[in-house]
Amino acid sequence: MTTTAAVNPTQQRTAEVVADIFGVINERLVRHSVTYPEYQAAKAWLIKVGEAGEWPLLLDVFFEHTIEKLASERRQGSSGCIEGPYYVPGAPELSSPATLPQRPDEPGDVLVFTGTVRDLDGNPLPGSVVDIWQADALGYYSQFHPDPPQWNLRANVTTGADGRFEITTVVPAPYEIPKEGPTGQLIRAAGWHHWRPAHLHMMVRAQGCRTLTSQLFFAGGEYVDEDIASAVKPELTLELAHLGDGRYAAEYDFTLDPA
Ligand code: BEZ
Ligand code: FE
C-alpha cells in the first residue's frame, strides 16, 4: 500500500479505512491461495455486477447490516434495520387511518398495522410520518418489477393527534433475490438460498427527531432465522394476530431519538 502522508482528516480516514480493508482482502487472497483463473473470474463477475446495475443490491445484501448495527448502537429509541435497495421517495401522502395504494384485486391476506410514534420521554408525536413500503404477496416491489403499479404498497402516512397510525395493507411474501443477475449467480455458486423473510419497511420521521429507518418481520415466518441479508433482529419480529374476519393485525410502537 502506498504511504504518502495524508494531508487532511478526510484523507487520513480514507487512507486508514481503505488500507485496512484492502490489507484484509490481500491477506485472505493469500490464506485461500487464490489462483489467476479465480482472480480473473472474480474480476469478470465484478464488472457484470456494475453492468447489471446490481451494486446497490449486492452491497445491501452482504454489507449494509454491519453499517446499520453500528449506527443502531448510537440510538436509544426503537431499533433500526437496513434500508435495502427498494426505497423510493415521494410516495403518496395519506392520513391515518390509511389504506396503502393497491390494485382492486390485490392478492394476499389483509393486514391492519397499528401503533403509536413517541419520543424518548413517551410523549406521542402527532403529525409524524410513517413512510412505508413493502413487497406484495408475490414478493414483488412496485417500481422494481413490471407488474405492480407505480406506488403499489407505498405511502407516507401521517399519524393522528395522538401519534397513532392505522395502516391497512396486505401481508407481504418473503422476498427472493433475483436469480438471473450476478448477485443471484454468486449466491447459487456458493450453494446459499436466495431469500429474505417477509417484512415491512418504514422510515419514521417527526420534527425535532432523528429519522428511524427500520423493518418489521413476522414471528415464525419462513427465513426469519436465515435471512440472506442478515438483518433480522428479535425485537423487530411481530406476532400476527387473527382478527376473526379473515384479516390479520400487527402492532408496533416507534420511539424516536432526538435529532
Ligand atoms: C429488502 O429489504 O428487500 C432487501 C434488502 C437488501 C437486499 C435486497 C433486498
Ligand atoms: Fe425489502
Mutation choice for ligand 1 from 59, 82, 132, 224, CB with most ligand atoms inside 8 A = 82
Residues near 90 by beta carbon (within 8 Å), at least 6 away in sequence: none
Residue 129, in any domain of the structure: yes
Percentage of the chain beyond pLDDT 70 is: 98
Residue 228, in any domain of the structure: yes
Residue 186's pLDDT band (cuts 50, 70, 90): very high
2 CA → ligand 2 middle, Å: 40
Tell me: the pLDDT tens digits for 23-66? Answer: 999 999 999 999 999 999 999 999 999 999 999 999 999 999 99
Q: What is the CATH number of the domain that holds 229?
A: 2.60.130.10
Task: Judge whether 197 and 166 are in contact, CB under 8 Å.
Answer: no
CA 244 to chain centre: 30
Distance (Å, rounded) from C-alpha 67 to C-alpha 82?
9
- 78 and 101 in one domain? yes
Residue 59, in any domain of the structure: no
- 40 and 151 in one domain? no
Q: Is 88 exposed, middle or buried (0-12, 13-18, 19+ CB in 10 A)?
A: middle
- 251 and 135 in one domain? yes
Task: Judge whether 239 and 221 are in contact, CB under 8 Å.
Answer: no
Give residue 119's region: left, alpha or beta (phi > 0; psi -120 to 50): beta
Percentage of the chain beyond pLDDT 90 is: 96
Mutation choice for ligand 1 from 86, 136, 200, 203, CB with most ligand atoms inside 8 A = 86
Q: Is 225 exposed, middle or buried (0-12, 13-18, 19+ CB in 10 A)?
A: exposed
pLDDT of residue 4: 62
Element (H, E) at 15: helix 9-31
84 CA → ligand 2 middle, Å: 6
- 141 and 16 in one domain? no
Q: Nine-digit cell at 1?
A: 500500500
Atom of ligand 1 nearest to the CA of 215: 2
Give residue 243's region: left, alpha or beta (phi > 0; psi -120 to 50): alpha
- 129 and 47 in one domain? no
Residue 58, in any domain of the structure: no
Peptide bond into 172 cis (omega under 30): no
- 70 and 34 in one domain? no
Nearest residue (CA) to ligand 1, atom 3: 84
DSSP state of 84: -
**Mean per-residue pLDDT, 180-203:** 97
Residue 78, in any domain of the structure: yes
Residue 2's pLDDT band (cuts 50, 70, 90): low
**Mean per-residue pLDDT, 240-245:** 94
8 CA → ligand 2 middle, Å: 38
pLDDT higher than 70, residue 1: no
- 45 and 160 in one domain? no
Distance (Å, rounded) from C-alpha 187 to C-alpha 45?
12
255 CA → ligand 1 middle, Å: 23
- 90 and 33 in one domain? no
Whole-number Cα distances in Å, 143 to 86, 113, 130: 8, 23, 20
Q: Provide the domain limits for residue 22.
A: 9-51
Residue 7's pLDDT band (cuts 50, 70, 90): confident
Residue 105's pLDDT band (cuts 50, 70, 90): very high
- 194 and 169 in one domain? yes
Residue 19, in any domain of the structure: yes
Atom of ligand 1 nearest to the CA of 229: 6
84 CA → ligand 1 middle, Å: 4
Residue 131, in any domain of the structure: yes
- 20 and 140 in one domain? no
Distance (Å, rounded) from C-alpha 124 to C-alpha 133?
23
Nearest residue (CA) to ligand 1, atom 4: 84
Task: Judge whether 256 and 77 are in contact, CB under 8 Å.
Answer: yes
Distance (Å, rounded) from C-alpha 35 to C-alpha 9?
37
Residue 237, in any domain of the structure: yes
Q: Name the residue with cell 445491501.
A: 60
99 CA → ligand 1 middle, Å: 23
Tell me: the pLDDT tens digits for 131-151? Answer: 999 999 999 999 999 999 999
What is the total count of domains within the chain?
Answer: 2
- 21 and 99 in one domain? no
Distance (Å, rounded) from C-alpha 51 to C-alpha 85?
16
Task: Judge whether 195 and 174 are in contact, CB under 8 Å.
Answer: yes
Residues in contact with ligand 1 by the CB-under-6-Å rule are 57, 60-61, 82, 84-86, 175, 196, 229
- 37 and 70 in one domain? no
